[in-house]
Structure 1
Amino acid sequence: MDLEPIDAVAAVVSGYGIAGRRLREIIARLTESPTTLDDLVRDLAVPRRTVEALLRAAGPDLDTGGETLVLQDSVRQRYGERFALATLHDVPEVPGMAELVAGAPAADRALDHVSATADTARRRAQWLAGTYDLAGARLVCIGDHDLTSLAVRRACPDVEITVVDVDERLLAYIDGQGAGIACYHADLRFGLPPVVAGSGDLVFTDPPYTPEGVQLFLGRGAQALRDRGNGRLVMAYGFSPLTPALGLKVQRAVLDLDLVIEAMLPAFNRYHGAQAVGSASDLYVCRPTPQTWQVLDRRLDRLAGSANIYTHGEQSLEGTAARGPARILGGGPLQADELTVDLAADPGPWLARVLLALNVPAVTLLVPNNHPDLRDAASQAALRALVGAKYDLRLRRSTPAPDRATVEATLRTQEPPDAAGWLLTHAHGKVGNVLREALMRADPALSRSEAQARASALAGPGRAEARLIDLPRHAIAGLTGA
């Protein structure tokens, strides 16, 4: 059955994904006053073939008298409502960003965090909402210290948002705002959470400003796209005008992924700090090409697990390579009877994540003596509480050297394991499925459907399909505690 013209137009617009906004601009022009094909192409900067496809779809709804085009009076209101034309040029409000930014965790220099201003977060959200059709789409933030996710949520409540970050404090802060943003933990050197891969229409990232960091974050962002034809990667990056060679290296790293730089907005982002680059960075819009998907995995394999990507500290290009946990955190469960893992370069999250990832009966882990999970009694208690249903821990500070500590983990042998133990020993499984099985083992009277319903409620919105190991630490603690 033939579509009504308005439905055919909607199909054309939908086919352009988040880039359909330009087509809505064409429709708006056709509702306002007579125009010509040449004017539509030139004024709205849309290829002639695209404009012609939209006009063919509108067909009989167009008044084509003379040499001009306009939608007939009888259908203008329907088009206006269908394509939300009345709000097309509205600039969304983004209230409260100063308070949100002020309350966020302090910047972590070891992770190259330099905080963007609250006004930058607001302008990012307004630009994204004014450039792309975000309603019903998914934005993935690859790293989000600047709280771009919360700004976009306030600008466009209908967009789905995912944040992936290595900073547990940040994930807890964003999650605590109750904004319905899906938060996942990942050290991007070891991979992207499977639940995030192929899920997004638009990616935003403000990566470490090294060629390796930019390529890694953009590469993971490309892996997060589900719309390979219309998806966009938006990146903040800046270099000093005194060092244009560094800017060239980074731009070559972008092109090495076969991404096309579609646009660049100079000095769009401003920061508290980063004075070496003028406390500013540009906003790049990158778009995948068909060749991107041919080279992406090879480029990321070259970086994954061994590339130090930051400009400062032990994780910098001059620091100790991050090889220790690569096999453990970058793959599936590792089988062994006994294992020693060198986590000397652990920036903080690796220790707990390795204990979650392994089901080895006896594990010895070497970590910095000042490791966040060992530095005081409260931190040690929190680590034991997190993994205690799975591993008994012996923590030995200043061993085998003054700057090192040893963590000895012994797998608990409780049979059958309680629900929390079952969950922790299946950290690579989907949370909803593992929780269901854990609940049924703990309470044989539960039916499968009852256990599934309870598991979904415990996991929370959107988390049932994720792996436990990819959840933020506070969410894992909440599940095991429950």
Structure 2
Amino acid sequence: MDREGVEHLLGEAGADSRRLRHALTLLCDGQWWALADLVRETATSRRTIEELLREVELERSGDRFRVPLPHTPGYQHLLAMAPPPEDPVAHLVPHYRHVLERLEDLVAKAPRGRHVLDHVAATPETVLRRALLLGARFWLPGSRLLCVGDHDLTSLAVKLVHPETDVTVVDIDERILAYLDEQDLGVRTRWADLRLGLPPSATGHDLAITDPPYTPEGVGLFVARALEGLKPGGRVALAYGASERTPALALKVQSSLADLNLVSEAIYPDFNRYFGAEAIGSAADLYLLCPTGKTRPAVTARLDRLSTAIYTQGPQSVESAPAALPSAAGDAELLVGDWPKELTQPRTRLSTWLAKPHATAPASVAVAVPPGLEAALPRLLLATRAAHVRVLVTDPPPLPDVLSAVYTCAPADGGLDAVRRPQPTGDADLVLRRILDNGHGKLANTWREGLIAVARAQGGSLTKNEARALIGQVAPWCEALTPLEAPLHRLAGLRAQVATTVAALSGTT
């Protein structure tokens, strides 16, 4: 056994050899280790662990390994005999074994991550500890928590540990939103591409938590949106990690937080652990961030210079080439998105298009959707009452069936053409169309007015409270949100729910 290489490696690491000594301690404790497990347990990058393994004589069993037991005494003087510092809620975890078992099942059955969204799943114990830490640090009964993205299912952990907390999730992934609603734990779900805006109903929260793409652009955007969703005095919990080998990247991210004039009230090292992300040790710190009086204008300035390239992979990665601008817009009266400067038609941003109704009522619109923003297409179509919408999109996704109540869509060169259908004749179809024609309006309010109009046309009457009661019985999820922020699985069931309320009018009017 040659310890010289190990001692040299530890000597070069200096004070930071603590993580390597921890790994060596685990290798000498008699257990068999897989590489991914050793990376995650020590919160050390795969590359650093591999350097250690090259210097240590190992015995193997399949893909697992350890230091042979007769050799372990020779390493005793190199080991970290004390474990790493415990996190502040580790002592609480044993009291929530039943919750951990439920979360293990929920995480196992959740939709798989999408690499173009930089998804890496946190461990069930991590999301449980997040919920415990929020409850230990803040008063959660009656508080409102905003999850800015929730592939990790932190929202479910919070509702299982603190059911009295009001929790809202904003996410771009329709699969995650549908899965959260399937659990029926009272989590509110909202669709949003955060590059295009925060849903109007996702404001006024006491706390926000986010585990964003780990680029300076991604962290800056997700934290800015989280801050938009807070009321004064709120806090943001941020999961962010970088390899011990790349402190310059961590500096860029922390600089983006400083640009938002935030105070770091606490940083819990390696608090979050993941299945994957071995380049950063399958771990990330947890930051607790406090806004200051200068944060709000800094958020506005940050969003004004927003870049849509925020990920590490895919067409919207920070290293991807800018998308080519469309060459022609035909006879469109209004251009939405990025278009060549030489075109003379009025234009508006995609984010503005989704945020509020356009000041004019153009009959024809051309919308340019760059690669990576295709998920916004159904909402971009619902954001207008134009008779004709030409969409320039490289890879159009399948459109939800509910859009057939509004548009006839057909493939066109470079995208698709959407032609608005005439108004329907049936009562339920009229109410549904009224809702979808008012994409920026509160869904429940438009639905209520539609029912009142149908009741009046039938020669009866319906009060606002009676209409609200009918809607609340079949669609309690719709309160306060607009069609543009409703998840697609909610819109998919809307036709049947509207029909139920229309059929109930005969017993109410």
Q: State which structure, 1 or 2, has the greater radius of gyration over its C-alpha atoms.
A: 2
Q: Tell me, yes or no, if structure 1 residue 212 matches structure 2 residue 222.
A: no
Is the Cα–Cα contact under 8 Å of residues 346 and 367 in structure 1 kept in the other structure? no
**Residues 60-85 of structure 1: CA deviation (Å, up to 9, x unaligned):** xxxxxxxxxxxxxxxxxxxxxxxxxx
Could you tell me which of 435, 443, 463 is aligned with 1:423?
Answer: 435
Is the Cα–Cα contact under 8 Å of residues 407 and 418 in structure 2 kept in the other structure? yes
Is the Cα–Cα contact under 8 Å of residues 357 and 384 in structure 2 kept in the other structure? no
**Residues 201-247 of structure 1: CA deviation (Å, up to 9, x unaligned):** 11110011111111111111111112x22x21000000112111111
CA distance in 2, matches of 1:215, 1:346: 19
CA distance in 2, matches of 1:446, 1:319: 58
Aligned to 1:317: 318
Is the Cα–Cα contact under 8 Å of residues 431 and 459 in structure 1 kept in the other structure? no
Corresponding residue SS for 2:265: strand
Is the Cα–Cα contact under 8 Å of residues 455 and 462 in structure 2 kept in the other structure? no
Q: Tell me, yes or no, if structure 1 residue 345 matches structure 2 residue 371.
A: yes
Is the Cα–Cα contact under 8 Å of residues 354 and 383 in structure 2 kept in the other structure? yes
**Residues 290-322 of structure 1: CA deviation (Å, up to 9, x unaligned):** 11123221222221xx43111111011133658
Query: What's the RMSD between the two structures over aligned residues?
Result: 2.0
Aligned to 2:40: none
Aligned to 1:395: 411
Residues 141 and 465 of structure 1, relative CA distance in 2, 3 Å threshold? same
Q: Tell me, yes or no, if structure 1 residue 326 matches structure 2 residue 326.
A: no
Aligned to 2:300: 297
Aligned to 1:363: 389
Residues 121 and 249 of structure 1, relative CA distance in 2, 3 Å threshold? same
Aligned to 1:414: 423
Is the Cα–Cα contact under 8 Å of residues 171 and 183 in structure 1 kept in the other structure? yes
Aligned to 1:120: 126
Q: How does 1:163-242 map to 2 (within 5 A)?
A: 163-198=169-204, 200-226=205-231, 228-229=232-233, 231-242=234-245
Is the Cα–Cα contact under 8 Å of residues 374 and 393 in structure 2 kept in the other structure? no
Aligned to 1:264: 267
**Residues 34-93 of structure 1: CA deviation (Å, up to 9, x unaligned):** xxxxxxxxxxxxxxxxxxxxxxxxxxxxxxxxxxxxxxxxxxxxxxxxxxxxxxx97662
CA distance in 2, matches of 1:290, 1:129: 26
CA distance in 2, matches of 1:346, 1:480: 29
**Residues 312-338 of structure 1: CA deviation (Å, up to 9, x unaligned):** 110111336585533422443473111
Is the Cα–Cα contact under 8 Å of residues 435 and 447 in structure 2 kept in the other structure? yes
Residues 368 and 456 of structure 1, relative CA distance in 2, 3 Å threshold? same
Q: Compare 351-360 and 335-344 and name the one that shifted more.
A: 335-344
Aligned to 1:447: 462
Is the Cα–Cα contact under 8 Å of residues 139 and 160 in structure 1 kept in the other structure? yes
Return the offset for 1:464: 1.9
Residues 296 and 284 of structure 1, relative CA distance in 2, 3 Å threshold? same
**Residues 258-281 of structure 1: CA deviation (Å, up to 9, x unaligned):** 111111011111111111111110
Q: Which amino acid aligns with 2:228?
A: Q
Q: Which amino acid aligns with 2:482?
A: R
- Count residues in correspondence: 371
Q: Which amino acid aligns with 1:395?
A: P
Corresponding residue SS for 1:140: strand
**Residues 367-410 of structure 1: CA deviation (Å, up to 9, x unaligned):** 234x431xxxxxx5xx2x211111111135xx44xxxxx22111
Is the Cα–Cα contact under 8 Å of residues 458 and 479 in structure 1 kept in the other structure? no
Aligned to 1:480: 495
Corresponding residue SS for 2:267: strand
Aligned to 2:149: 143
Aligned to 1:84: none
Is the Cα–Cα contact under 8 Å of residues 191 and 485 in structure 2 kept in the other structure? yes
Structure 1 residue runs of 5 or longer lacking an equivalent are 1-88, 374-379, 401-405
CA distance in 1, matches of 2:409, 2:397: 16
Q: Tell me, yes or no, if structure 1 residue 465 matches structure 2 residue 480.
A: yes
Corresponding residue SS for 1:388: helix
**Percent of aligned positions that are identical:** 43
Aligned to 1:307: 308
Aligned to 2:163: 157
Residues 336 and 411 of structure 1, relative CA distance in 2, 3 Å threshold? same
Residues 308 and 244 of structure 1, relative CA distance in 2, 3 Å threshold? same
Q: Which amino acid aligns with 1:254?
A: L
CA distance in 2, matches of 1:241, 1:352: 42
CA distance in 1, matches of 2:92, 2:315: 46
Return the offset for 1:353: 1.3
CA distance in 2, matches of 1:142, 1:193: 11
Is the Cα–Cα contact under 8 Å of residues 356 and 440 in structure 2 kept in the other structure? no
Residues 391 and 309 of structure 1, relative CA distance in 2, 3 Å threshold? same
**Residues 99-133 of structure 1: CA deviation (Å, up to 9, x unaligned):** 00011111011111111111211111122122211
Return the offset for 1:256: 0.5
Structure 2 residue runs of 5 or longer lacking an equivalent are 1-90, 324-336, 339-349, 498-509
Aligned to 2:285: 282
Q: Which amino acid aligns with 1:392?
A: T
Return the offset for 1:175: 0.8
CA distance in 1, matches of 2:357, 2:441: 10
Aligned to 2:19: none
Q: Which amino acid aligns with 2:379?
A: R
Q: Which amino acid aligns with 2:470?
A: R
Corresponding residue SS for 1:267: strand
